[in-house]
Every structure is written in C-alpha cells, then in structure tokens.
Amino acid sequence: MFTVNTYKPQRYQNILVVDMVKVLWFIPSPRDFQLFKWWVEKVDFIDKLIVKYKPSHIAYSEGVNFFLSKDYDYMLINTDDILATPYHVQLLLEDVEKHGFDVIGGWINFDFNNPVGYRYASLTLKPPRGFNPKNPLSIHSASQYPHLTIRELVTKNWETPFLKVYFNGLALTMIKRWIIEKTGLKPFRIIRDRYFERGIMYDLKLSSDCEALGIDYYVDLRCFCLHFGKTLEFLKVGKEKPYTLFIPAKGEPVKLN
C-alpha cells in the first residue's frame, strides 16, 4: 500500500539533504508536547511513523513490523520526551552516509527534576553496575549507571566527534536494518505499575544486544538533544484514543489505525 520515500536533494534553511539511504523515523509518542511536535513537523525530508498513546511494548512492536515490511536501510528512533531539530536529524544522516555506522546517536541530559540528575548525561562507556542481561531485576536504580557528567563532555578537548559508548539512553539514534532484524528492539523488562503495563529499558536492551553481537555503538558528540526528564505524569495511554500516523517524505499524513 505504501511506497518508501527516499529524501530528495533540497534545502531546509541551511540544510542540504542528499539522496543516499532510506530512513524511517519511528517515534513512540505516549505524550503530547507542543515543542516536540513543532520540530518533528519541520522534518519533511524522511518518512515518519508516529505511534500515539499506545503502551511502549505495543508501539515498538508496531514500529519494528512496519519498518521491516519496507525496504528501509536505517531506523531513526526517539521518544517524544527528547527534543531534536532538523539539524540533529541531518547530522546523523550525514554520519551514516559518510561513515556507514551500524549504530550512531546523539546524547541527552539525564534529568531536570533533582539537583543531582541535571549534572549527568544519559551516556555511559560501560554497563551498569551489577547488570545481568539475563536478569530483568538486576537493574533497580539509575545510580547503577556510570553516567558521564555533562561538564566533562563539554570541556574535554576531543580529537573526534565520534565517541564509542555502551549506552546513550536511546537519544535520537540511527540503527542499521540488520540490527533491527536481529534484535527486534525488545524491552529489558515488562512492568505493571499505577499507570499501565508497559515495556521499559529499551535503551539498555539495545546496548546489551549490540555488545553481545560485537557491534560498535557510537554517539556524535555534536548531536546534543534536550531530554525533558521524568514525565510519567504526562502519559496519555488509556486516556486518549490510540492511533498510528505514517507521514511520507514531502507527503500527506496517512492514518493507519
């Protein structure tokens, strides 16, 4: 029913987009943030799949199935609590076109909601302390993650913008097709709390799967995106009617369900 739209040479302000790889931007969106919506609307040079108001394990499954049903080369993914601009998207497109990364993403601040969390990036070079990939209960606190500080990231004299990492919190991240085929983007754990049943820690599961598969996981240090922090109170799953929207590059939105 749908054809894959490659992004064509055009300019968005100072952005030059070239026709190289086929990308789907998958956005699981259980909340409504106007700032996020405005920037997403400005990215009209790649296909987008926006899954609204669905529990994460359902949304991710739907996104993966749609992606694999087409001939995309890469999935670009981030959730609606991470603010990315067209320039961020273009930067990662250039990275995969020029260097062919298997995984390349941006990086984000950890949290805004406590006096300690805002100092850290959701970025680690090593797995969390006590982490066992086969035991979903091995992660019980954010303090287990050896987060880098934002200060060290912005003050170090880096030789290259590309940093090999273990974990980037699944900030705006480009993932090659074969990895999606191999991993399926599964959650590390399914929980049921006062909100609803949902999958969590997709970011950690992807990092663990990449390490197990021998995949180098990189971030582009130039690609800092704003993370809104803990926003569970803004979840609209079960409160709004769920739907899925496919928006082809330079095309009109199509409501899938």
Checking if the pLDDT of 12 tops 60, the result is no
Fold assignment, 10-106+163-221+230-255? Spore Coat Polysaccharide Biosynthesis Protein SpsA; Chain A (3.90.550)
Checking if the pLDDT of 157 tops 90, the result is yes
**For the ranges 13-17, 41-45, 243-247, which has the lowest average pLDDT?**
13-17
Report the alpha-carbon distance of residue 160 to residue 220 in Å, rounded: 9
Average pLDDT of the segment spanning 201-210: 96
Checking if the pLDDT of 223 tops 90, the result is yes
Can you give the residue ranges of every domain in the chain?
Answer: 10-106+163-221+230-255
Q: Give the model's confidence band at 164: pLDDT under 50 very low, under 70 low, under 90 confident, else very high.
A: very high
Query: Among residues of the chain, what percentage have pLDDT more than 90?
Result: 79
Is 66 within 8 Å of 257 (Cβ atoms)?
Answer: no
Average pLDDT, the chain: 90
Predicted confidence at residue 111, as pLDDT, reads 79
Checking if the pLDDT of 43 tops 90, the result is yes
Predicted confidence at residue 150, as pLDDT, reads 94
